[in-house]
Amino acid sequence: MGDAPARLGVVGAGTMGSGIAQLGCLAGMETFLHDPVADALARGAERIRTGLDKGAKRGRWSAEDARAGADRLRACEALEDLSPCELVVEAAPERLELKRELFGRLSEVCDEGTVLATNTSSIPVTALVSAAARPENVVGMHFFNPAPLMRLVEVIRADGTSERALAVTRAAGEAMGRRVIEASDGPGFLVNRCGRPFGAEALRLLAEQVAAPEQIDRVCRLGGGFRMGPFELMDLVGVDVGLEVARSLHSQSFGEARWKPSPLQERLVSAGRLGRKAGRGWYHYDDGPHRADDPDPPSPGGGEGRVVAIEGTGALAAKLRERARAAGWEAREPEELAGVAPELVVDTSVPAPAAD
């Protein structure tokens, strides 16, 4: 296991970059934040200070920790200011040539042992290796939005990544309080590969006019247990970012249909409706909440002694019988009906596979 770096560099002061830098500040690392756009750098630094203050007020860390974290932040106008860093995380827009140019320049200004990590969510990390002077120092370090709240980090080994680079990256993630997992360098890595179908199917439902974004999101929250629905997540990440990721996955899969971008994404991006950061995406983000609160689940009741048959022997069937009885139903298994006609039959058994 490697030691966490004492000095962390972050390139890109947007939502992701500032979130990663905030984690570095709280983890005790002297954190160097760079953005080539002066206004973006100032906004990113202010976002970090505001995030540290809010976290202290909500009891996530102490006011002393917030002040100490803010003191560790260095806003850097020049890329050369990142030269002392032992780990630099690139959080630039999802454009391959831009990232390759950054890795080339970072190789020139940083020490020979500096680990260069990319926060890309879709571009193969191996595609950046040849742009660096020392390919063995290149690694993927994929945070999730919002980085200060999401506990998972993917570490991705590119072709040629050294064990030392992996160890430094893992140690940095763990010092930030993240759960670090290692993922293969393939389209979408692991988490986005698993999550992509939710967003893609939600867009298909909307395109086919099955339901509105608000309805689809509510079904996912109430029925699936998600904290936010797919359209809310697209707005949080950025509709433009999601479109670029979809294009990247579609290209990497050589046109596989399941990764095809939706024309609806293209339409919103063309209209400037990029999500929360633009004030409008699938939802409007004005002064008030972007959606109504979800209703509380109804209180158990309504059975009034009526009979329901619940078939099955597993945990699901047992739980359903328990809940039905708590609501006043007389829950029975089918063999217990003895000629009584139930008002409802629920079959939880798994169908047997069809014979060849």
The pLDDT of residue 124: 93
Q: Give per-residue pLDDT as tens, 17-39.
A: 999 999 999 999 999 999 999 99
The pLDDT of residue 196: 87
* Average pLDDT of the segment spanning 177-190: 92
CB atoms within 10 A of CB 156: 26
On the CB side of 144, how many CA atoms lie within 13 Å of its CA? 19
The pLDDT of residue 122: 86
Q: Give per-residue pLDDT as tens, 261-312.
A: 999 999 999 999 999 999 999 999 988 889 989 988 888 888 899 999 998 8
Handedness of CA 140, 144, 148, 152 (dihedral sign): negative
Which residues is 141 bridged to in the sheet? 155
pLDDT at 137 over 80: yes
Active-site residues, by number, are 121, 142, 154, 192
Phi, psi of 91 (to 5 degrees): -130, 50
CB 77 within 8 A of CB 104: no
CB atoms within 10 A of CB 199: 21
Q: Which of 116, 113, 135 is nearest to 126 (CA)?
A: 135
CB 262 within 8 A of CB 221: no
Of 54-58, 313-317, 352-356, least confident by mean pLDDT is: 352-356
Q: How far apart are CA 105 and CA 108, in angstroms?
A: 5
| pLDDT band (50, 70, 90) for residue 1 | low
CB 105 within 8 A of CB 135: no
Q: How far from the centroid of its chain's Cα atoms is residue 341's Cα?
A: 49
* Average pLDDT of the segment spanning 219-236: 93
- In order of 15, 49, 231, 265, 313, the CA distances from 333 in angstroms are 54, 59, 41, 48, 9
Q: How far apart are CA 302 and CA 133, in angstroms?
A: 70
Phi, psi of 122 (to 5 degrees): -145, -25
Domains of the chain with CATH codes: 7-183 (3.40.50.720), 191-278 (1.10.1040.50), 307-347 (no CATH)
The arrangement of strands across the sheet holding 30-34 comes to 73-76, 30-34, 7-11, 87-90, 115-118, 138-142, 152-156, 179-183
Q: Give per-residue pLDDT as tens, 87-125.
A: 999 999 888 999 999 999 999 999 999 999 999 988 999
The pLDDT of residue 324: 93
Q: Which of 180, 169, 101 is nearest to 140 (CA)?
A: 169
The pLDDT of residue 356: 57
Q: How far apart are CA 324 and CA 315, in angstroms?
A: 14
Which residues is 131 bridged to in the sheet? none
pLDDT at 46 over 80: yes
Average pLDDT over all residues of the chain: 93
- Say which residues have a Cβ less than 8 Å from residue 163's Cβ, sequence separation at least 6: none
Amino acid at 31: T
Q: How far apart are CA 93 and CA 99, in angstroms?
A: 8
pLDDT at 203 over 80: yes
* Highest mean pLDDT of the ranges 29-38, 92-101, 190-199, 250-259: 29-38
| pLDDT band (50, 70, 90) for residue 314 | confident
The pLDDT of residue 186: 87
